Amino acid sequence: MADNSHNCSLRGKEDSRGALVVLEGLDRCGKTTQSTRLVKHLESLGYSTELWRYPDRTTSVGQMISSYLSNKSQLDDRTIHLLFSANRWEKRSLMETKLKSGTTLVVDRYSYSGVAFSSAKGLDMEWCKAPEIGLLAPDVVLYLDIPPEKAAERGGYGGERYEQLEFQKKVGQRYKDLCSANWKVIDACSTMEEVEKQLQEIVLDCVKTCQEGKPLSCLWSC
């Protein structure tokens, strides 16, 4: 029998990488503020970190999405769903390269937003998940939990499509259906500092595990 111990000890080093950290939640739950603060914190500890967000409105697909969200264009529900997904696919290989080079990515919204928002419109959840299969799976999903009514009170919504209380209630329900083992649910009604501290603890742990060596995996297998 071949002795695999040498291979096993090598595996850790080969799999050393940055962490894929995703923040999810309803509009106005504080994701953008918290992801920005989290990146600053990781950088201050010396970890190579980048802040990403979806939709990435800078690409041509992203511009179509942005125009739809600001009600400047109309699109069929399935069409816009596939555009959101394409917007993730167009960044997939860069995402893999960055993670493998040791950079941690803190991502403001990901596939779960895609599935939660589109299925809240009435599209079948499995149909919504299908185009996301094969994208990189996050190491942790930080769900900033807030009652839709509370989110609506926070300075109101910006007027983009989907920013309506009744719709957000449905989205919240879909997120609950999607919640799985690698999700951490954080009470987003706590103070900004409390939320920040909780996120830091969870993420630091995750970053260290990935640095020690953890293979990348794909949605929706875990």
Residues that bind ligand NYM (CB under 6 A): 27, 54-55, 69, 84, 109, 113-114, 117, 162
Residue ranges in 52-111 that form contacts with Mg ion under rule CB under 5 A: none
18 binds, among ligand NYM, Mg ion, none (CB under 5 to 8 A by kind): none
Name the 3-class secondary structure at 18: coil
| Comparison of 66 and 190: residue with beta carbon closer to ligand NYM | 66
* Contact (CB, 8 A) for 54 and 92: no
Q: How far is CA 27 from CA 104, 158, 164, 165, in A?
A: 24, 9, 9, 10
Residues 6+ apart with CB under 8 A from 161: 68, 69, 70, 71
| Comparison of 114 and 172: residue with beta carbon closer to ligand NYM | 114
Q: How far is the CB of 60 from Mg ion (least distance, A)?
A: 21
Q: How far is the CB of 109 from ligand NYM (least distance, A)?
A: 4
Q: How far is CA 181 from CA 99, 139, 140, in A?
A: 22, 10, 9
Binding test (CB under 5 A) with Mg ion, winner from 24, 27, 132, 139:
27
Q: Which phi and psi angles does 148 have, rounded to 5°? A: -55, -35
Q: How far is the CB of 69 from ligand NYM (least distance, A)?
A: 6
Provide the binding-site residues for Mg ion, judged by CB under 5 A.
27
